[in-house]
A and B are shown apart, each in its own frame.
Chain A
Amino acid sequence: MMTFLKLLFRNRLAAVGGIVLTAIIILVLIIPFLPLQNPDITATADRFQKPLSDGHLVGTDHLGRDLLSRLLHGTRLSLAVGVSAALIAATLGSAIGIIAGYFGGRTDNIIMRGVDMLMAFPYILLALAIVAALGPGLMNALIAVAAVNVPFFARNIRGITVGLAGREFIDAARLAGMGHTRIILTELLPNVLPVIIIAMSTTVGWMILETAGLSFLGLGSQPPQADLGSMLGEARSALISHPHTSIIPGIMIFLIVMSINLLGDGVRDALDPRLRSGALSRPLATTLVQRQGNIPEPTDDLLAIQELETQFHIGKRIYRAVGGVSLAVKPGECLGVIGESGSGKSVTALSVMGLVASPPGVITGGAVRFQGEDLIDADYESLRQKRGDRVAYIFQDPLSTLHPLYTIGQQLVEAIKSHHKIGNNKSRERAIQLLKDVRIPNAESRIDNYPHEMSGGMRQRVGIAMALANEPDVIIADEPTTALDVTVQAQILSLLDDLRRERGLAIIFITHDFGVVAQLCDRIAVMYAGRIVEEGPTAEVLDTPAHPYTKRLIACVPELGGGRREMAAIPGLPPVVDDLPPGCAFAPRCDKAATECRAKNIELEGAAPRAVRCLYPEEVI
């Protein structure tokens, strides 16, 4: 609760909204103790007194009633009615939504048909019909406003509930013997409640406007009782001659609704966990660069990553996802980068072309050189010209990485046209040829398919075709087969292998699977906690691993054909990269670790092409 309030008031606008709203609420609560005149006493002699006139701080209305008194009483009424309507609508609507979403099937169908029916009305028609039937009056206006808002809550909450009801913890609760009522109340409701509060806080202002609107039309509060809406409605005929009678209640409505909206946004932001981690900011076109320290000298490699450091800045924490990684590939070479999740292998790969999502990603050191040219401080346009043209990517999940609303043909053609001036027919022919190159059958007809019309394996072939579109020099493949079934994986891997041999492509292959690197890569680099701990030719690293981590990680992987057995395990967990220990990051899990291991930075050392970052390596290299 305290953290919630802290988060809420860190948002300065929300704080302003909160203060204004609190002031208004206090003001209307102490009405009985204020020296106010009776709001309903008419004095026609004193009509349309200007503000600051004698005895009437903000003047009088067309019947000579004190405007300040009417304003405060009206505010109280408007607030009470608006909030009640919101509460009623939220309670009923959420209950309907939860029931429909949880039970699904026929219950859901019938309820949602009804809700859709109500939403088929422009809301005011429904409200007008209700008021027409029940007769004008504030209570009836309240009922009408609450009723028209029930469907909005029902639909909103149903959507959330459907998502939650499909989650595994609901299944787990059923397996633990809980009944439906208990699941709804103890498993679902606590998870839905923040959404209900968000929906309420963002609609309460709207409901105050709606009730004020009905009163403005003369269908809400009836004279002499007046809420802010009816005050405006009554003042309208004197708008031109005595504008203050309209402006004052109008500004009050505006202040109330504005402060509620500001506060509501603050509540939404404070309750939405995605916003807390900064995930809702959109990634920029290139990763931010704040480079400190020396920039390494150019080399003659095709692509060289040099002492690269990439961090994530989330709130006050700094996650050192990549902490000084150096890698290089030559034409026709396949380099495997292997590591567990959080080892920084994907971030290394994405840093090359400035594709790390930023915010929160920041490149803080090192260089990435393509044919000697530093890409880290390249301007956007020259980086863009190399993206997909000289260095291309293949990503993990081909369903989410292809645009769902463009045909694969359009996406291939776009890849070509972003770098070459080429006619429509020519580019289409080229796209068909690319599809044939990745062995997609019936390329001529498949080219007009959308991604969702293809299988996972076919989609990944499209991903590869797109990477090949401009005959790049380097392909960076980030776990390209992880989302695929093994039989499909085997085909994709052999396709990649054939392509690189035919075209002399350099490939950087990111994976967590030793079997895959063993089959495809010439050299491998093993990463742990953002750094390379060992590198060398594939066979040597796999046969005689030098770093204890590599050796024990290989032992953890069950191999087909080994029969039933106990497996080796590494105790403990990989470290979180916002709080790395000094010295070797693997030391806490290593049975060979000594005091020196924990003391200071350990260099990657060895005789090229082999190197290891360990004081007590398993093999001498």
Chain B
Amino acid sequence: MGSYILKRLISAIPVLLGITIIVFLIMSLIPGDPATAILGAYATPENVAKINSDLGLDKPLVNRYFIWLFNMLTGDFGRSYSLNRPVIDEIFERFNATLILAGTAFVLCSILGILAGVVSAARQYGVADKIITFIVLIGISIPSFFLGMMMILLFAVNLRWLPVSGMFAIYGGGDLPDLISHLIMPALALAAVATGVIARLSRSAMLEVLRQDYIRTARAKGVPERRVIAGHALRAAMVNIIPILGIQAGFVLSGAVYIEIVFQWPGVGRMLVDAILKRDLLLVQGGVVIVAACYVLFNIAVDVAQSLLDPRIKT
């Protein structure tokens, strides 16, 4: 198992390099003089000179890429011009908040989604199946930012159960209950779509598995139906559900951008949008690379989980 994890980590290196190349190429699409474009409103002559020497923008594309890559490897992601601080500091500060939000939402949508999918499949065409299918349909059709706004109206403004926005109360907050009360709405709004998608795909994965011959074998040997569903069928279906969880983690991370804006959550997503609007492109570059790298690592964890479940995967 150790060697398998190592092998997967090594195989992530080309993917990570690929990510940096893609980001670099996209950023090189910027029309006109790159230094001025990167700096946008901050393009004072000394800044332009500084960025030209920082990034070696007078050099050919390939050289520039390696300079940028080498700098990143030494932890130097450059300086944010809009915030006037190192990019890496800003990102790490923000990343915690995003992890709390997205992590909670991911756990929520995985558990709820799989549970709903299994119940739905086991009771196919029954009342529970119809209700779940209907809720799921609403869940995947409603934009998460709109759902978040409606939640604020209902639970924060009208019912006054929960705080409107932010991560902590401005006065006297900062403890865990405070965090949780701020977390409930954004986490639920963020989890809604992914829960729907996971529930749908879990349902069809379960239906597919339940038709397999080995389910008939389990029934033929007298295994109780509850165990057939929750043991034999779910275990086999998980082989197809786990990769979906990996993909949905990306969607949760993506959705966090909207939710952070709606709930003014101090995360990476909001930072990125602000940076784009302020054309602080070094911050965008650094943020995208770091978040993508974390996602790659997460997907390795997914693969490892998959190999633990499925002995047919060669480790």
Contact = CB atoms under 8 A, between A and B. Distances in A.
A117 B211 contact: no
A212 B257 CA distance: 13
B22 A123 contact: no
A490 to B, nearest CB: 24
Interface stretch (A62-70, A307-315, A398-406): A398-406
A124 B257 contact: yes
Interface string B158-200: 0000001000000000000000000000000000000000000
Interface stretch (B43-51, B53-61, B79-87, B224-232): B224-232
B145 A239 contact: no
Contacts of B220: 353, 355, 387-388, 392-393, 395
B258 interface: yes
A129 B247 CA distance: 19
Contact of B291 (A122, A250, A389, A392): A122
Contacts of A402: 214, 217
B223 A261 contact: no
Contact of B295 (A118, A121, A395): A121
Given A217-B273, A395-B216, A120 B295 contact: yes
A283 interface: yes
A contact face: mostly helix, strand, loop, or mixed: helix
B47 to A, nearest CB: 18
A447 B142 CA distance: 51
A601 interface: no
Contacts, number: 232
A292 to B, nearest CB: 24
A9 interface: no
A217 B261 contact: yes
A283 B207 CA distance: 9
A282 B124 contact: yes
B19 to A, nearest CB: 6
Interface in A227-254: 229, 232, 236, 239-240, 243, 246-247, 250, 253-254
Interface string B1-45: 000000000000011001100110011111000000000000000
B222 A239 contact: no
A132 B276 contact: yes
A254 B141 contact: yes
B124 A122 contact: no
A71 interface: no
A10 interface: no
A15 to B, nearest CB: 15
A51 to B, nearest CB: 16
Nearest to B134: A13
Nearest to B18: A117
B15 A236 contact: no
Interface in A213-232: 213, 216-219, 229, 232
Contacts of A121: 19, 22, 250, 288, 292, 295
A415 B251 CA distance: 41
Interface size class of A (residues with CB under 8 A): 35 or more
Nearest to B257: A124
A237 to B, nearest CB: 11
Interface stretch (A79-87, A92-100, A378-386, A582-590): A378-386
Contacts of B262: 236
Nearest to B238: A405
A550 B300 CA distance: 60
A112 B249 CA distance: 21
B291 to A, nearest CB: 6
21 contacts: A114-B18, A119-B247, A120-B19, A126-B22, A128-B257, A128-B284, A129-B285, A130-B26, A205-B140, A217-B261, A219-B277, A250-B150, A258-B138, A388-B222, A395-B220, A401-B217, A402-B217, A404-B236, A405-B235, A405-B311, A418-B221
Interface of B: 14-15, 18-19, 22-23, 26-30, 121, 124-125, 137-138, 140-143, 145-146, 149-150, 152-153, 157, 164, 206-207, 210-225, 228, 232, 235-236, 239, 247, 249-251, 253-255, 257-258, 261-262, 269, 272-273, 275-277, 279, 281, 284-285, 288, 291-292, 295-296, 299, 309-312
Interface of A: 113-114, 116-126, 128-134, 136, 205, 209, 212-213, 216-219, 229, 232, 236, 239-240, 243, 246-247, 250, 253-254, 257-258, 261-262, 279-283, 285, 353, 355, 357, 380, 384-389, 392-393, 395, 397, 400-406, 414-415, 418-419, 450, 452, 466-467, 469
Given A120-B292, A404-B312, 6 more contacts: A121-B295, A125-B272, A131-B276, A250-B143, A403-B232, A452-B312
